[in-house]
Chains A and B, each alone.
Chain A
Amino acid sequence: MRRKEKGDHLLAEALAEALDRDLADVPSGEQLRKEYRFSTTFEKRMERLLANENKGKRKNETVTDARAWGAKAKQYVGVAAALVCVIGLVAVAEIFQSGAGKKSQSAADTAAPEMSAVTEEVCEDAVEDQTASGIGESDTEWETGFQEDDTGGVPVEETDEDQKVTAPGWQEKLLLESAKADELVTWHLSSIDGDGSMVLLSRRTDGWESEEPSFYVSGVFEVYDETAPDEWECIYRAARTREDYEGVSEWTECYTPEELHITKGGTYRFVRQVNSFRQVLQLTLEER
């Protein structure tokens, strides 16, 4: 055995012995069970996880029973993520005008094999010159009454509370802003549960080693339905929650179509806030 291999083996043996000695001092499981009772919050979280019943959002957020939706509504399966690649402004315009940029997503196929069709629309990042294009941070800063802002500065043509159509060009600007958010944290579809619930995965681009910048990320606060090519109708709007994700490299959220007011197949854009930027995730849902 080479010296290094032998050294590694000895080190492993010593580490095991050290750990075992540490654990020798730990009371038995039975004793610990008598002495300590896990909090109700912990038990509920873990029960939920173990029972695989409710599909929750992030910690401390409310949970919607996805099964209820699945039982009474058609199921929708998913799709694929938007986001995050860098190209030029011209290419973005082409995507919006022609619907180009769609491509299959094998990961989504894997995640939801029952999908009848899966498409991914890549909201190509086009921020080579954001300053020149006039696209910058969102109109509202997180720290300045952001949570109370219900519109996020969206130009709205229609005034009906639940059926708002955004002004021409605004979606494009939103996507460009999203590109900035993508530089901080990626956002994509992780899996589709059997009942149609969408598990969305977020991942910091810098891992969790960096101390700065801090991350403040909201849940989905707006959903837009593509009613016609390049026409987006807001079908869901909520107050923007704020959560600090310092020190966390990745996390998941889970949404049922029902809770986001999605009742039919189609292409949708989910919007959330990452620091002072809005971020977009585009999904195409198909009924099955």
Chain B
Amino acid sequence: MLLFLSVLETEEEQGKFTLLYEKYRYLMWYVANDILKDKDLAEDAVQEAFLTLTKHLDQVEEVDSPRTKRFLVTVAKSRAIDLLRRENRAEFAEYEDALGQEADQNDTLDTYLQTESLEQLVAAIRSLDENYRVVLEFRYLHELSEKETAAVLGIAEKTVNVRTCRARKKLKEVLAKDQGGNV
């Protein structure tokens, strides 16, 4: 599946895209391979990540910035997760079923966020499954709206909402467990 650089309308966009590719493709491959444990699939993930990027290049301001680096890493992770999903459909069907459960109506994560130290929050986030982390990163770190996140991930807005709720709930569970309390 190829999408073409011609989708990028201006030379500036094409130049930016090329620089991003030159600078970040190895990092993106590494991150994808870490998830997929398959070098070839990781290459596919990188390719798909760049294809995704052609449609969301407006999210990137500077080529050489921590913010851009993080964004591209999140995109690469999301593509890798998608590929993993395709490779392990049964496993992910179960995951999707879990996502289909009702959203957490009493989201008290904000309370936990303000009572925990940054160190504890970081540790909790790093313990989360990448499925959860990616959606949180798009929504809160990269500040994408539900609609924008849905476009990047290629899923429905409603699904983004459910995944976000689920991810927040999971994070809250981790934090509560660390505190030795109940969710």
Taking beta carbons and an 8 Å cutoff, which residues of A are in contact with B? Answer: 3-4, 6-8, 10-23, 26-27, 29, 32-33, 36, 38-39, 41-42, 45-46, 48-52, 55-59, 191, 193-194, 199, 207-209, 211, 246-252, 254
Contacts and interface: CB of A to CB of B under 8 A. Distances in A.
A191 B29 contact: no
A252 B118 contact: no
B18 A248 contact: no
Contact of B21 (A46, A194, A211, A249): A46
B31 interface: yes
B154 A17 contact: no
A32 B70 contact: no
A136 B39 CA distance: 44
Contact of A38 (B29, B31, B50, B121): B29
A48 B51 CA distance: 13
A17 B118 contact: yes
A163 to B, nearest CB: 32
A256 to B, nearest CB: 13
A15 B133 contact: yes
B141 interface: yes
B106 to A, nearest CB: 14
B86 A246 contact: yes
Contacts of A49: 2-5, 50-51
Nearest to B17: A50
Contact of B118 (A7, A13, A251, A254): A13
Contact of A26 (B27, B82, B122, B136): B27
A39 B44 CA distance: 11
A50 B114 contact: no
Given A10-B121, A26-B27, A254-B4, A211 B93 contact: yes
B96 A209 contact: yes
Given A12-B140, A209-B155, A27 B30 contact: yes
Interface in B129-154: 133, 136-137, 140-141, 143, 154
Contacts of A59: 1-2
Interface residues of B, number: 58
Nearest to A41: B43
Nearest to B156: A207
A18 B113 contact: no
B43 A38 contact: yes
A41 B121 CA distance: 41
27 contacts: A4-B110, A6-B114, A7-B110, A7-B113, A11-B140, A14-B113, A14-B122, A16-B141, A17-B118, A17-B122, A18-B122, A18-B125, A20-B70, A27-B30, A29-B26, A32-B30, A39-B43, A42-B47, A50-B5, A50-B21, A191-B7, A207-B154, A207-B155, A209-B96, A209-B156, A249-B154, A252-B1
B126 A18 contact: yes
B45 to A, nearest CB: 11
Contacts of B159: 207, 209
**3 interchain residue pairs of minimum CB distance:** A7-B110, A14-B121, A247-B86
B46 interface: yes
B137 A19 contact: yes
A199 B140 contact: no
A25 to B, nearest CB: 10
Given A12-B141, A45-B2, A58-B1, A21 B122 contact: yes
B27 A29 contact: yes
Nearest to B3: A252
Given A21-B126, A52-B6, A246-B86, A26 B1 contact: no
Contacts of A33: 26
Contact of B4 (A38, A55, A209): A55
